[in-house]
Structure 1
Amino acid sequence: MNHLERITINPEICHGKPCVRGMRWPVEVVLDLLSSDMTKDEILEDHPELEKEDLIACLNYAKLLLSGKSIQELA
């Protein structure tokens, strides 16, 4: 499972940027955390509202964008 259902886009949240589960956690911010020196466990400890599956979803969303596909193509 790639967890892409956890990525939501709502014009009322974060100016319509892709976010995690409708929260004010843009995918790009989660990707910044993942690319820092923090481990996944440290990120989850510092931000308990996030779940491991959210981190995986953000990585899979980035992969999807780089592949040139869209979420609609996977449905």
Structure 2
Amino acid sequence: METLERITVDPNVCLGQPTIRGMRITVSFVLKLLASHLSVQEIRN
């Protein structure tokens, strides 16, 4: 699956913010976690 296919926008989910497909986790939240120096592995857990 191409990386961008994992990001979806649905006006009925998370106020229309971009989310990870099938989850209610916003892309901005994931970016904030990465900015706070968490590793990808730590975020996945």
Contact 1:14 1:24 in 2 (8 A): yes
| Higher percent of residues as helix | 1
Rg larger in structure: 1
% identical aligned pairs = 49
Structure 2 SS opposite 1:15: helix
Question: What RMSD in Å do the two structures reach over aligned CA positions?
Answer: 1.5
Could you tell me which runs of 5 or more consecutive residues in structure 2 were left unpaired when the two chains were aligned.
none
How far does the alpha carbon of each residue in 1:12-35 deviate from its partner, in whole angstroms, 9 at most, with x for none?
Answer: 000000100042111100000111
Count of residues paired in the alignment: 45
Which one has more relative contact order, counting CA pairs under 8 Å at least 6 apart?
A: 1
Q: TM-score, normalised by structure 2?
A: 0.83
Q: 1:2 to 1:32 in 2, by over 3 A?
A: same
